[in-house]
């Protein structure tokens, strides 16, 4: 991949954007901290300077009281010399602004008398501070105007060299620190983003290595219960479900292939026999009848599959009409009496009277006949089959078919409702593996359910529960 192709991808990555955010937030907050520190430091230095100047003004005031104006004039020169003539100056003025004494002013000649400040001072009688930029020296000075006697104003100024030094040192520290902070935050941001997203990469890697034939790979789960771990767990669960689904689709297609193969082989066999015995009309007719019978069975199977799929997809064509369920169940039982008699099975039917419900009668008959057919088919000769139609206390009607047949291993209790699923031991008995699946779909279309209770060797109870509520009683 060329660099040009890679660049837009890099900008789009979450890691890049996180790094940018991290570095940005880190740098901006550092700038704010620096600004705050700068503001507080300069403020403190200025306050200290102002306090020093006020102290000087108080001293001059005391000297004037004790030694008069002459004393103050001498003090101005001595104080400036003692502190350094480039550091401090003193001027004594009349309220008119006329200077009558000062320290040595050659360094400070840029600073004149500010009449505006004197006006303010005359009105407030307090003191006025001004900050002055001395252009020739490129240095700031803090200047105080204050009355030191009733008609004497002291103008005194201090070079703000400490503040100037502080600002230049601050600038250096700021530039170096910000450079370091930007580099540090970018590197650590990149590191953190990569670390945080490494779980996502693992999921992406696993997802891209999965194919139709290789579904057993899973994303490593850390067990930290953080967002990425939950994502990994959810992803793995999704893979489990997909794997189960694909497995059951494979099983189902195997079953379909198997179940379609047998009748088709038989049909082919009939056709072959008919072809060999072309002259024998009787055999010819017999084979044609067998072919029709097998074809009908196949068609029935395909139709059943269609009913189940349509109902499961929500497009079932069920027609609900008020039906006397009690009468319907009785009639169905009567239909199966000859089958029971053939196997000498004790077949009993106990039906609660006058249960009137809105159902799809044809579909419900199909479901019920599948249950009865199974019970009589799987129960051995001389066994017992009992049918119950009764009210349940929770607003349901229960159609129960109990038999004394071979029962069902608990491992297959749910599987038997899958399409085409037949327990291995039943494979010798004729059937398609669609009966229970259809019966359950029909029960569910009626907002009810079909469940089974059974133990191997102890018979089975199939219970189709249908809700009675919201169905008008006639």
Minimum CB distance to ligand ADP, residue 391 (Å): 24
Candidate list 72, 160, 436, 443; residue touching ligand ADP; CB under 6 A: 436
Least Cα distance to 308 among 397, 240, 250, 370 occurs for: 370
Asked if residue 422 binds ligand ADP (CB under 6 A), the reply is: yes
Asked if residue 426 binds ligand ADP (CB under 6 A), the reply is: yes
Using CB under 6 A as the binding rule, the residues of this chain from 83 to 112 that contact ligand ADP are none
Minimum CB distance to ligand ADP, residue 465 (Å): 17
Is beta strand 346-351 parallel, antiparallel or unpaired with respect to 384-391? parallel
Q: How many residues bind ligand ADP (CB under 6 A)?
A: 21
How is residue 104 annotated by DSSP? -
* Selected range binding ligand ADP among 20-28, 287-295, 299-307, 421-429, rule: CB under 6 A: 421-429
Q: By C-beta, is 9 or 414 nearer to ligand ADP?
A: 414
| Long-range contacts, stretch 136-141, CB < 8 angstroms, 24+ apart | 136/110, 137/107, 137/110, 139/164, 140/164, 141/108, 141/111
* Selected range binding ligand ADP among 113-121, 170-178, 417-425, 440-448, rule: CB under 6 A: 417-425
Candidate list 320, 431, 449, 467; residue touching ligand ADP; CB under 6 A: 431
**Residues 371-410: x where in contact with ligand ADP by CB under 6 A, - otherwise, as a string:** ---xx--x------------------------x-xx-x--
- Residue 36, classed as helix, strand or coil, is helix
Alpha carbon separation from 200 to 14, 22, 194, 209, 212 (Å, rounded):
11, 19, 10, 14, 22
* Selected range binding ligand ADP among 95-103, 161-169, 263-271, 427-435, rule: CB under 6 A: 427-435
Beta strand spans in 12-149 (E)? 88-93, 99-102, 127-134, 139-149
Q: How far apart are CA 436 and CA 420, in angstroms?
A: 9
Q: By C-beta, is 149 or 423 nearer to ligand ADP?
A: 423
Minimum CB distance to ligand ADP, residue 283 (Å): 30
- Residue 236, classed as helix, strand or coil, is helix
Q: How many CA atoms, within 13 angstroms, populate the side-chain half-sphere of residue 8?
A: 4
Q: Residue holding tokens 């607003």?
A: 395
Minimum CB distance to ligand ADP, residue 211 (Å): 33
Question: Max alpha carbon distance in the chain (Å)?
Answer: 159
Least Cα distance to 425 among 440, 437, 411, 441 occurs for: 411
Asked if residue 423 binds ligand ADP (CB under 6 A), the reply is: yes
Minimum CB distance to ligand ADP, residue 341 (Å): 18
Query: Would you state the structure tokens that stand for residue 462, as one six-digit string?
Result: 């199939």
Candidate list 437, 448, 450, 465; residue touching ligand ADP; CB under 6 A: 437
Positive or negative CA dihedral for 386, 392, 396, 397?
Answer: positive
Alpha helices, DSSP H, located in 223-280: 227-276
Minimum CB distance to ligand ADP, residue 425 (Å): 7
Q: By C-beta, is 146 or 437 nearer to ligand ADP?
A: 437
Asked if residue 416 binds ligand ADP (CB under 6 A), the reply is: yes
For 97: left if phi > 0, alpha if psi spans -120 to 50, otherwise beta; the answer is: left
Query: Is 440 within 8 Å of 449 (Cβ atoms)?
Result: yes
Asked if residue 440 binds ligand ADP (CB under 6 A), the reply is: no
Q: By C-beta, is 240 or 414 nearer to ligand ADP?
A: 414
Q: How far apart are CA 100 and CA 152, in angstroms?
A: 10
**Residues 167-196: x where in contact with ligand ADP by CB under 6 A, - otherwise, as a string:** ------------------------------
Minimum CB distance to ligand ADP, residue 221 (Å): 37
**Residues 359-378: x where in contact with ligand ADP by CB under 6 A, - otherwise, as a string:** -----------x---xx--x
- Judged by the rule CB under 6 A, the positions of this chain that interact with ligand ADP are 370, 374-375, 378, 403, 405-406, 408, 416, 421-423, 426, 431-437, 460
């Amino acid at each position: 991949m060329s660099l040009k192709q890679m660049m837009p991808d890099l900008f789009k990555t979450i890691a890049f954007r996180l790094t940018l955010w991290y570095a940005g937030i880190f740098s901006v907050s550092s700038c704010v901290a620096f600004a705050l520190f700068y503001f507080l430091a300069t403020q403190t230095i200025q306050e200290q300077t102002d306090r020093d100047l006020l102290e000087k003004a108080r001293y001059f005031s005391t000297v004037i009281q004790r030694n008069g104006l002459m004393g103050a004039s001498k003090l101005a020169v001595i104080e400036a010399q003692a502190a350094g003539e480039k550091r401090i100056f003193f001027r004594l003025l009349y309220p008119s602004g006329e200077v009558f004494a000062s320290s040595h002013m050659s360094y400070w000649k840029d600073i004149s008398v500010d009449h505006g400040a004197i006006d303010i001072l005359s009105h407030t009688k307090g003191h006025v501070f001004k900050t002055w930029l001395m252009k020739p020296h490129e240095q700031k000075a803090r200047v105080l105007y204050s009355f030191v006697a009733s008609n004497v104003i002291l103008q005194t100024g201090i070079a703000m060299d400490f503040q100037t030094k502080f600002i230049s040192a601050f600038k250096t520290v700021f530039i170096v620190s910000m450079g370091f902070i930007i580099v540090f935050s970018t590197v650590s941001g990149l590191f953190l983003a990569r670390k945080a997203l490494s779980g996502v990469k693992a999921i992406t890697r696993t997802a891209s290595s999965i194919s139709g034939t290789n579904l057993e790979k899973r994303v490593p789960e850390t067990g930290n219960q953080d967002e990425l771990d939950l994502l990994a767990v959810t992803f793995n669960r999704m893979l489990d479900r997909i794997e189960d689904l694909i497995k059951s689709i494979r099983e189902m297609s195997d079953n379909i292939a198997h179940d379609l193969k047998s009748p088709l082989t038989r049909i082919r066999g009939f056709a072959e026999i008919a072809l060999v015995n072309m002259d024998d009309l009787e055999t010819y007719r017999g084979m044609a009848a067998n072919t029709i019978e097998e074809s009908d069975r196949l068609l029935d199977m395909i139709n059943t599959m269609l009913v189940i799929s349509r109902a499961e997809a929500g497009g079932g064509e069920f027609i609900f009409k008020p039906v006397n369920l009690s009468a319907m169940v009785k009639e169905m039982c009567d239909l199966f009496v000859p089958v029971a008699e053939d196997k000498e099975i004790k077949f009993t039917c106990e039906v609660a009277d006058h249960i009137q419900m809105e159902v799809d009668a044809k579909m419900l008959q199909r479901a019920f006949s599948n249950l009865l057919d199974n019970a009589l088919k799987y129960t051995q000769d001389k066994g017992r089959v009992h049918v119950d139609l009764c009210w349940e206390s929770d607003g349901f009607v229960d159609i129960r078919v109990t038999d004394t047949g071979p029962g069902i291993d608990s491992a297959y209790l749910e599987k038997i409702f899958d399409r085409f699923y037949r327990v291995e031991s039943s494979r010798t008995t004729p059937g398609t593996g669609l009966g229970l699946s259809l019966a359950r779909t029909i029960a569910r279309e009626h907002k009810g359910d079909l469940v089974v209770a059974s133990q191997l060797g102890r018979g089975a109870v199939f219970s189709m529960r249908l809700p009675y509520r919201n169905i008008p009683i006639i």
